[in-house]
Structure 1
Amino acid sequence: MTFKQFANKPFVKFITNKYVIILIVFIVWMLFFDENSYLTHREFNKEIDKLNSEKEYYNTEINHDKELIEKLKKKEELEKFAREEYKMKKDNEDIYIIEYDTLEKK
């Protein structure tokens, strides 16, 4: 097949049209090289998903802390919390801390 025969094919004529070439260059530019490219949008969407998962985590932590605050409004619960978390005691008490070894012995 000679070059003239190859150039007369309808597909080749369509691809070598100057408007099609400009359109292809424009599409490639917009997809990969532009500031608002597909790749940039994909990165932003990943970051949005990550931030939404962090938001969910912190909202559950806030709800947990609100429940704890409501629970600690009772004097007995506040004393229990202070003893367990901060090892506090009354003046006439002795506290013994028992720690368990969680490592397996060989």
Structure 2
Amino acid sequence: MREVVAAILTGARSPEEISRVTGVRTGCKTECIQPILRLLHAAGIEPKPVEGGWQWYGKTVTIWEISEELKQKYSIKGFYFVEDENLFKKVMEKIQNR
């Protein structure tokens, strides 16, 4: 991802511009765009999909971005957002404490 950050710092303002400079995402069009969109967002850039383009679905929601309201609403329908988040935290703690 260093190349993506470097591309943003040197003026790239869209996933397409980043792809032209780095080659990232040229074989993958759906999930590989996620880190690019997040890094652009972190840089204060909100890119818009190319008109007539495809496979540009925006950022995928992560467990950290699900609102408490949605967690509550769907927990009664069999979703385990809180449990998933707690498990993820445990796994990350183990990895960090190696």
TM-score, reference length from structure 2: 0.21
**Which one has a larger percent helix, Structure 1 or Structure 2?**
1
Normalising by structure 1, what TM-score?
Answer: 0.20
Highest Rg: 1 or 2? 1
Q: Which has the higher contact order (CA 8 A, sep 6+)?
A: 2
